[in-house]
Amino acid sequence: MTDLDLTVLLASIVAGAAPIVLAVLGETISEKGGVINLSLDGSILLSAMVAFAIAFQSDNLFLGFAGGALVGAMMAALVGFFSVFLGQSQVAVGFVLTLTARDLAYFLGNPYARLYGPQAGVNPIPWLQDVPVLGPIFLHQSVPAYLSLLLIPFAWWYLYKTPMGLRLRAIGEHPEAAYARGTNTRAIQFWYTVVGGLLVGLAGATFSLCTKTGWGRPQGAEGTGWIALAIVIFGGWHPVKAALGAYLFAFLQIMGIHFQGWWPSVPAQVFQVAPFPLMIFTLIVMYLAQKGSTRTSSRGSPWLRGAVRILSGSAPAGLGRSFKPE
Amino acid sequence: MRITLRDIRKQYGKVIANDGIDLEITEGSIHGILGENGAGKSTLMKILAGYTTKTSGTILLNGRPVEYDHPSQATRLGIGMLYQDPLDFPPLTVLENFLMGLDHGLVSRVEVYRRRLREMADHFGFHLDPETTVQRLTVGERQQLELVRLLALGVEVLILDEPTTGISSLQKQALFTALRKLAGEGKTSFLVSHKLEDVEALCDRITVLRRGKVEGEMGLPFESRKLLGWMFGSELPPPPCFERRAKEGVSALAMEGVSASGGRAGLGPCHVAVSQGEVVGLAGLEGSGQGLFLRLAAGLERPETGKIRVAEEDMTGKDHHAYRARRVTFLPAGRLEEGLMPGLSITEHFALHQKRGMMIQWPEAQERAEQGIERFRIRGSSFSAAESLSGGNQQRLLLALLPANPSLLLLEHPTRGLDADSVQWVWEKLMAYAAEGTSIVFSSAELDEIFQMAGRVLVFFNGIVVKDVRTCDTTMEELAKAIAGKG
Amino acid sequence: MLPFLENSRPKELLIRVLFITVGVFCLTSLVLLVAGAPPWPAFYHLFVGALGSWSKLAQVLMVWIPLTLCACGLLYSFRIGLWNIGVEGQVVAGAIASTAVLRFGVESGSPSLMIVMAFAGGMLGGSVWAILAGFLKTKGGVNEIFGGLGLNFVAQGITLWLIFGPWKRPGVGSMSGTEVFPEPLWLPTFLSARLSPAGLVLTVLALVVAAWVLNRTRLGLALKGIGSNPKAAYLHGLNPSTYFILAMGLAGGCAGLAGAFQVTGVYHRLIPVISSNYGYLALLVVMLANYRVWGSPWIAFFFACLNVGSIQLPIVLKLDSSLSGIIQGALVLTTLLVYGVRK
């Protein structure tokens, strides 16, 4: 391994994590309102394909991104429609959609495989890009990466500092109570699911137009959706923590590639599948933290207490349930 | 605001919950609505609050007729209700709960509302920390928050449904002071309760409901006796004390200093001993601790203090299956929610009770199912799915599934929803069990039932057993008083 | 409770089936048109590609076997109300276990015994993997969807590690998997048809056992009761946690058998995509079969036909073979739509 340039490493983490951050933020929004969008993985692939196809045909990157976003929104709308309005199980619909969307992506994307298309390059911010340290890392990125960076504080602000975000969180926690206070629970759940899907679509577009450009079978973004689901849980359904989780994952991925030589005994696959044991671990810690007995036993171990505090959070109480107004 | 209710009727299928209720309330008053379980007071208030729609009748506010069918519409008209089960958001903070529904626009005006919250809380002497999460608050504090929130929304009429269950006496005083202050400011309050003492202490006028109708109305000064009479109907003579079939000295169930939390009121330390063959009735308003008592006796809940013994054996802390092994059986009130398995037929329910063996003997299960259907007169075939049976028939099925010789039967509302004939016939069966030595402990909303069927009655009030007496040694009036908290 | 499709009267059912069939037909044609492909030739080639000859039929059956085995397992887990998304990982775990057994037994005397042991090992491997997810649920409060998902990826990771690490081919590890097992360790087939009679028998047996267990044993009834209402089942003397583990064990066992079959009968080695997605597909099969035994083998057969039929498409029509997945998904979605609208 050649000598490591820290800024290059950090910059590549920010760039590589951009689509994951977008997907994670989108799914967090959806789940905060109580709707879990299991079609994430397929959605990303389908929107990646559509984005590339449109960009290729029209030679217009913006249209490509817009197309991808639209596809993501439509997939989420399907999940929302089936679950919120038809009362079907969110898990069932999301799961079927994730498989079907992937197949659609491969099928319709066939003609576009291994073609060279437009790519979103780096757009450094003038003047500021020369700021030491921060400049090369954060200000020498592509537009989607900037978007992902900006969305993190925006999502946090929206969810925790605005009345609309409060309403969404209230619906996710106790839809019946929100309904009693006059909110149009179902419509709001549906729309936020769609918004979440829009971000997921953008994530897919970012893959095929920016991070892992082009289309193929496989594209390279396979599995990202499932990873995003895991990271949302690991982040305790909090946008900032979840985004940090995304960066951590990107970090681990890069470590897996670069540091093979340093730790030869650790197989590369460990880094690739790392989010999932972490997700399981988080869920267990959250569960044990809720059970009173652990509160007393964790007094003894500072490590466990720290873990409980960092990983604290709980799923929105209404997650996965379909709410029927009386 | 002046409120007039004219000829309010509410029907659920064949059940008439409100049967033509007229009420006239002046502003600036506190009006008490008294009544037994099932009298219709909750339904009436839910209609007023917009939570349920009335079948017919008119509501007038300040003389103007109004129509609404959603709680938020009622709130906009100035009517708000404090529900027994709080409709709030436990993981969110006090301030966020306060804001939700109140604040609109692009940015949260946090400071404005924080100040408002503090002013209002101080005005009533409430202490609410805006940053704690609601799930950490006590029931009383959650109530205070909801009260303040409704007032912030501009509510002029407050409906409180059994507000004093599960709150400390200090909080009760704070609540009462707040309500009196509101009355002084021209606001109207409805206090729905079964607790005579509270209602007498706080209200200006009392309306008593019984079986869906207004039984009587009274202003100050109140006569408790008359109120009780209106609440519980005419007096029944005490049953002749039948010879003790109970084997004195042979203990079936003993609760020593048992207390637990759960439901709204929890259960305070109680000492109860039930002998073999005794039939004990648990009286009191829903949620006063009877349900918790039964579940503790079944091993479905763990006590926080004390010991539970079944037939002299210490069973504290063991799980329900250990109790089952000692032939303790529990029949829940929620038949379909807890007692039966939707999607399974009657035969399948019986099949699950077959003794060991890997294979199900279907012919035998079917036969037992058909026997059960006949003996308990269940309207359904052995293939009927549990959820297709009517409520009454579900209850019959649960009874039919009872094991052969239970040592202790714990029944939550065993005859709820059954017609008079069925009730009588069910009790015949239960008495037959008692004659064989089974101890029966049951809760019931019908005081008559307890009075006639039980040899002994325990009255629960706010989580405490306030009366433990043989039925032949007491009167309906005394029991009624105890239930209302004046025993 | 699971999204059971409601039972309906024959006439209603017929209308629904008609609607679903027409709907899927239209959706698929639409997709084909968007791809610029003529619908009728595509359908024709799908059909011919699956049922056009005996050897094609044999291929279909070779897909049907592991798919139905997975479906059998899922019948147990669905019966108790669990979403066993981890079935994919259980297939892989079974494949890994049976590969391990075969590797140990490569030198040993009796190959038939080794094959049987490989299946036993596969069953055990899948079972253990599933029970792991079960314990995560009962002791750790981890929803079986996420536990299963996580374990799927972990199993996949272990596979890749084995293929590129300890079990790699001499020289350099490659995506084509571990070294191919010698012929005696291959599951015997019918002459040139490459169809394994043992596999067929095993699958039919699994179906019969599933029907028997679910409908005639106490275990089956207990699964049904708990799946319906765990609280009530507890009051009637059943312990939900125990049965969750049992159901998962059974589900994983069947999935493990599928994995063992893939190793011994199809690929004769461990490859990265040893499960061929049959686990996930089996979830769709069972959903369409309304979680009952009787419909599962037929729907699995139909799905297998689609899978095999679509292999032709890239060659004959220059279309991607994912068309089968699109049809399968459209079927389930249309069914959910038709039944959802009715509510």
pLDDT digits (tens, 9 = 90+) for C242-287: 999 999 999 999 999 999 999 998 888 888 888 889 999 999 999 9
Q: Which two tokens stand for residue A311?
A: 């990983």
Helix (DSSP H) and strand (DSSP E) numbers for chain A: 15, 0
pLDDT classification of B106: cutoffs 50, 70, 90: confident
Which residues in chain B have Cβ-Cβ distances shorter than 8 Å to C81? Answer: none
Tokens of A187: 């419509």
Of A43-52, B239-248, B253-262, the range with the highest mean pLDDT is: A43-52
Chain B residues whose beta carbon lies within 8 Å of the beta carbon of residue C238: 352
Across the interface, of B71, B108, B110, the residue whose CB is closest to A180 is B71
Cβ neighbours around C161 below 10 Å, total: 18
To the nearest whole Å, the CA of A150 is away from the closest chain C CA by: 29
Residue in chain A nearest C146 by alpha carbon: A280
Q: At C120, list the tokens.
A: 């036993």
Is residue B65 within a helix (H) or strand (E), and if so which, with residue range?
strand B64-66
Q: Give the N- to C-terminal CA distance of chain B in Å, as an integer.
A: 36
Report the residue of C84, C320, C321, C332 to disrupt the A interface, i.e. the one with the largest count of A CBs within 10 Å.
C320
Q: Å from B121 to nearest chain C CA?
A: 39
b/e A73-100 (16+ beta carbons within 10 angstroms → b): bbbbbbbbbbbbebebbbbbbbbbbbbb
CA of C234 to nearest chain B CA: how many angstroms apart?
Answer: 8
DSSP element (H, E) containing B119: helix B110-124
Q: In which region does residue B210 sit, left (phi positive, over 0), alpha (psi from -120 to 50) or beta (all else)?
A: beta
Check whether the bond before A218 is cis (ω within 30° of 0).
yes
* Rounded Cα–Cα distance for residues B302 and B259 (Å): 9
Closest chain A residue to B104, measured at CA:
A163
Res A1: pLDDT: 43
Contact A166 B103 (CB under 8 A): yes
Torsion of CA B153, B158, B162, B167, to 10 degrees: 50
**Cβ neighbours of C241 (radius 10 Å):** 16
Please judge whether B348 and C224 are an interchain contact, meaning their C-beta atoms are less than 8 angstroms apart: yes
Chain A residues within an 8 Å CB radius of B105: 163
Q: How many domains would you assign to chain A?
A: 1
Q: How far is CA B456 from CA A206, B293, B468, in A?
A: 75, 16, 7
Instruction: Note whether residue A149 is domain-resident.
Output: yes
- From the list C216, C235, C239, the residue facing B332 with the nearest CB is C235
> Are B209 and B217 in contact, with CB atoms under 8 Å apart?
no
Residues C254, C203: Cα–Cα separation, whole Å: 9
For chain A, the residue count is 326
Q: Is B51 left (phi over 0), alpha (psi -120 to 50) or beta?
A: alpha
Q: Does domain B3-232 have CATH number 3.90.950.20?
A: no
In three state form, how does the secondary structure of A258-326 look? HCCCCCCCCCHHHHHHCHHHHHHHHHHHHHHHHCHHHHHHCCCCHHHHHHHHHCCCCCCCCCCCCCCCC
B339 vs C: CB within 8 A: yes
> Smallest CA–CA separation between C327 and chain B, in Å?
31
Best CA proximity match to B188, nearest among B201, B200, B165, B204:
B204
Crossing angle between the packed helical segments C296-309 and C197-216, to the nearest 10 degrees: 150
Q: What is the ipTM of this complex?
A: 0.88
- Burial of B227 (C-beta count, 10 Å sphere; 0-12/13-18/19+): buried
Angle ∠(B85,B90,B96) on CA atoms, nearest 5? 115
What's the CATH number where A268 sits? 1.10.3470
> Which residues is B10 bridged to in the sheet?
B18
B343 in contact with chain C, both atoms CB, cutoff 8 A: yes
Among residues A321, A111, B425, the alpha carbon closest in space to that of C320 is found at A111
> How many Cβ pairs within 8 Å bridge chains A and B?
60
A165 is in which domain, residue-wise?
6-310
Quick one: what percent of chain B has pLDDT higher than 70?
A: 97
Distances in whole angstroms, Cα of residue B18 to Cα of each of A32, B22, B83, C25, C160: 40, 10, 19, 54, 69
Q: No. of H helices and E strands in chain C? A: 14, 0
A177 touches chain B (CB under 8 A): yes
Q: Which residues of chain C have a CB within 8 Å of the CB of A226?
A: 149, 153
- Using CA atoms, how far apart are residues B351 and B366, in angstroms rounded to an integer? 8
CA–CA separation, A230 and A246 (whole Å): 10
CB contact under 8 A, A177 and B87: yes
Contact C72, C254 (CB under 8 A): yes
Give C144→chain B minimum CA distance, Å: 22
Eight-state DSSP code of residue B235: -
Q: Which fold has domain B235-327+404-487?
A: Rossmann fold (3.40.50)
Task: Return the DSSP state at B314.
Answer: E
E strand residue ranges, chain C: none
Q: Both ends of chain C: CA-CA distance in Å? A: 16
In contact, B47 and B33? CB cutoff 8 Å = no
Burial class (CB in 10 A: 0-12, 13-18, 19+), B60: middle
| Per-residue pLDDT tens over the stretch B93-104 | 999 999 888 878
Cβ burial, residue A37 (10 Å; 0-12/13-18/19+): buried
Measuring CA to CA, which residue among B96, B87, B150, B93 is closest to residue B124? B150
User: How far apart are the C-alpha atoms of B49 and B474, rounded to whole Å?
Assistant: 39
Q: Which residue of B has its CA nearest to A176?
A: B87
A296: buried, middle or exposed (CB in 10 Å: 19+, 13-18, 0-12)? exposed
Query: Mind listing the pLDDT tens digit for each residue in A231-268?
Result: 998 888 999 999 999 998 888 877 776 666 565 666 66
More confident residue, A100 or B387: A100
Q: Is the peptide bond before A126 cis (omega within 30 degrees of 0)?
A: no
Judged by a CB distance cut-off of 8 A, whether residue A186 touches chain B is no
Enumerate the residues of chain A whose CB falls inside 8 A of the CB of residue C339: 88
Whether B90 and A173 lie within 8 Å, measured CB to CB: yes
Domain with CATH 3.40.50.300 in chain B: 3-232, 235-327+404-487
Q: Residue C221 and residue B351: Cβ atoms within 8 Å?
A: yes
Contact assignment for B358 to C218 by CB distance below 8 Å:
yes
Query: By C-alpha distance, which of B265, B196, B276, B248 is closest to B479?
Result: B196
| A156 part of a folded domain | yes
d(CA B212, CA C288): 49
Query: What residues have CB less than 8 Å from A300, skipping those under 6 apart?
Result: none
Mean of the per-residue pLDDT values of chain A:
84
Q: Is B392 helix (H, G, I), strand (E, B) or coil?
A: helix
- For chain A, 326 residues long, give each residue's pLDDT as a single digit of tens: 444 677 788 888 888 899 999 999 999 999 999 999 999 999 999 999 999 999 988 888 889 999 999 999 999 999 999 988 888 889 999 999 999 999 999 999 888 888 877 777 777 766 666 666 677 777 778 888 889 999 999 999 999 999 999 999 999 999 989 988 888 899 999 999 999 999 999 999 999 888 878 788 877 788 889 999 989 988 889 999 999 999 988 888 777 766 665 656 666 677 777 788 888 888 888 888 777 554 555 555 666 667 666 666 778 888 877 776 65
CA distances (Å), origin A167, targets A186, B82, B258: 12, 20, 42
Nearest of B403, B392, B391, B396 to residue B375 by alpha carbon = B396
> pTM of whole model > 0.80?
yes
CA neighbor of B280 nearest in space, from B436, B63, B430:
B430
Q: Which residues of A touch C141 (CB under 8 A)?
A: 283-284, 286-288, 290
- Per the CB < 8 A criterion, the answer to whether B134 and B145 are in contact is yes
Residue B335 has pLDDT above 80, yes or no: yes
One-letter amino acid identity for C322? Answer: S
Residues of B near A (Cβ–Cβ under 8 Å) read: 51, 70-73, 75, 87-92, 96, 99-101, 103-108, 110
Contact A181 B88 (CB under 8 A): no
| Strands ordered across the beta sheet of B56-61 | B15-25, B3-12, B56-61, B64-66
Sign of CA dihedral B350, B355, B358, B364: negative
For testing contact with chain B, the best of C229, C238, C241, C290 (most B CBs within 10 A): C229
- What are the counts of helices (DSSP H) followed by strands (DSSP E) for chain B? 16, 20
Residue in chain B closest to C212 (alpha carbons) equals B359
DSSP A208: I
Cβ-contact A151, A25 below 8 angstroms: yes
Helix (H, G, I), strand (E, B) or coil at B245: coil
Q: Kindly state the tokens that stand for B176.
A: 């009462």
Chain-centroid distance, C-alpha C28? 23
What are the helix (H) ranges across B329-446?
Answer: 346-352, 362-375, 391-400, 420-435
Mutation target to probe the C interface, by most C beta carbons within 10 A, among A107, A114, A217 is: A107
- Taking an 8 Å cut-off on Cβ atoms, the answer to whether C233 and B338 are in contact is no
Least confident of B74-78, B390-394, C46-50: B390-394
Q: Are strands B267-276 and B247-260 parallel, antiparallel or unpaired?
A: antiparallel
Rounded Cα gap, residues B457 and B344, in angstroms:
36
* Residues in chain C whose Cβ is within 8 Å of chain B: 1, 4, 216-222, 224-225, 228-229, 231-239
Q: Is residue A317 part of a domain?
A: no
The span from the CA of C287 to the CA of C71, in Å, is: 10
Q: What is the pLDDT of residue C1?
A: 39
B341–C237 CB contact, under 8 Å: no
Please list the pLDDT of chain C residue by residue as tens digits (343 residues). 355 555 666 777 788 888 888 989 999 898 888 888 888 888 888 888 888 888 888 889 999 999 999 999 999 999 999 999 999 999 999 999 999 998 887 777 777 888 899 999 999 999 999 999 999 999 988 888 999 999 999 999 899 888 888 888 887 767 778 878 777 777 777 656 678 888 899 999 999 999 999 999 999 999 999 999 999 999 999 999 999 999 999 999 999 999 999 999 888 888 888 888 999 999 999 999 989 898 999 999 999 999 999 888 888 888 888 899 999 999 999 988 888 776 5
Contacting chains of C (3 CB pairs or more, <8 Å) are A, B
Contact A176 B87 (CB under 8 A): yes
Gap between the Cα atoms of A264 and A251, Å rounded: 18
Helices (H), A83-174: 90-109, 134-138, 143-161, 163-173
Question: What is the distance between the alpha carbons of residues C100 and C90, in angstroms, rounded to a whole number?
Answer: 15
| φ, ψ dihedrals at B328, nearest 5° | -100, 125
Q: Any idea what DSSP says for residue B136?
A: G
For chain C, give every domain's residue range: 69-301
Q: Is residue A151 part of a domain?
A: yes
Contacts 24+ apart (CB under 8 A), B121-128: B121/B148, B123/B181, B124/B148, B124/B174, B124/B177, B124/B178, B124/B181, B125/B174, B125/B177, B125/B178, B126/B174, B126/B178, B128/B94
